[in-house]
Amino acid sequence: MLQRIILSLLLFASGPVPGETVAVIGTGNVGMALGTEFAALDHTVIYGSRNPESEKTKALVEKTRNATAALPAAAAAQADVIVLAVPGMATESVVKTLCDLSGKIIIDPTNPLIVEGDPPTFTYGTDRSLGEIVQEAHPDAFVVKAFNTINWRLMIDPPTPPPVIPLAGDNAEAKEQVAEWVRAMGLDSVDVGGIYHARATEYLILMMLNNSFTGSEKFEVVFQPAD
Ligand SMILES: NC(=O)c1ccc[n+]([C@@H]2O[C@H](COP(=O)([O-])OP(=O)(O)OC[C@H]3O[C@@H](n4cnc5c(N)ncnc54)[C@H](OP(=O)(O)O)[C@@H]3O)[C@@H](O)[C@H]2O)c1
């Protein structure tokens, strides 16, 4: 007990432990979901928007605890962690506009989807995964493919038992850190291996979307930890 009191006094004396500064690039559904979730975990959120002064971005900043907005490159430059919540087919050009992100964690929820027709059919829009493209653009950053297999609504309001999301990335510590944030958001995760395996997770969402719109027999694919 005495030890706990001394520890609390020491923590009080040194001030609150600061959270990370998280740049959330993109202010659509996924940006809003992950931005508000990171803010709820006491991190400082900077939205990276092409229009930081727009009414839409201002409304999102207002709704997010402890948040600001800036242009994407300025947001990423100030952050320890970058979340890429941008359209899949814009991801490569967006990441190339960001400064040197060496040593930072990049969380990549993007999927390279091209959609055509009614009912919609989806095709894969790149020759390799976006996870790999982002890692190539920032070779000394720690890219973790995450959140790309679940709908944004589940990021905010996960059901019980929580969905298990795959994490792909070449750096084990970065994946462990992301897994911790995922757990704190009420979700679960499995480590599926290196960033090469981002391909499988991106194709998976393509297959599931095509099945949900045009498949004759509906299915869903779930991850679960094995014994
Ligand atoms: N929707 C889901 O449930 C879901 C789930 C998992 C993964 N994903 C993936 O996550 C990514 C974001 O999805 P989302 O649903 O949040 O998309 P969204 O609603 O369309 O939002 C994307 C945001 O990216 C920014 N952006 C930057 N460059 C852009 C460009 N060239 N064109 C259009 N917008 C641009 C925009 O914010 P500013 O205008 O502020 O710049 C925009 O609001 C996608 O790659 C998607 O495949 C989506």
Q: Where are the domains of the chain?
A: 19-214
For residue 34, how far is its CA from the centre of ligand 1 (angstroms)? 12
The whole-number average pLDDT for the span 2-23 is 56
Among protein residues, the one with the nearest Cα to ligand 1's atom 30 is 90
**Do the beta carbons of residue 215 and residue 191 sit within 8 Å?**
no
Q: How far apart are CA 81 and CA 39, in angstroms?
A: 13
Assign 219 to helix, strand or coil. coil
Q: What is the pLDDT of residue 9?
A: 43
Which residue among 25, 30, 95, 208 has the greatest number of ligand 1 atoms within 8 angstroms of its CB, and so is best to mutate?
Answer: 30
Q: Please determine, for residue 160, whether its predicted confidence score (pLDDT) is greater than 90.
A: yes
For residue 71, how far is its CA from the centre of ligand 1 (angstroms)? 15
Q: What is the pLDDT of residue 18?
A: 62
Backbone angles phi, psi at 34, to 5 degrees: -75, -30
Q: Please determine, for residue 156, whether its predicted confidence score (pLDDT) is greater than 70.
A: yes
**Domain 19-214 falls in which CATH fold?**
Rossmann fold (3.40.50)
Mean pLDDT estimate for the chain: 93
pLDDT in tens, 60-87: 999 999 899 999 999 999 999 999 999 9
For residue 95, how far is its CA from the centre of ligand 1 (angstroms)? 13
Q: What percentage of residues in the chain have a pLDDT greater than 90?
A: 90
The whole-number average pLDDT for the span 6-27 is 66
The whole-number average pLDDT for the span 48-71 is 97
C-alpha dihedral, 88 to 127 to 137 to 46, nearest 10°: 10
Residues lining ligand 1, Cβ inside 6 A = 26-31, 49-51, 57, 85-88, 90, 94, 109-111, 113, 147-148, 151-152
Q: Which atom of ligand 1 is nearest to the CA of 152?
A: 3
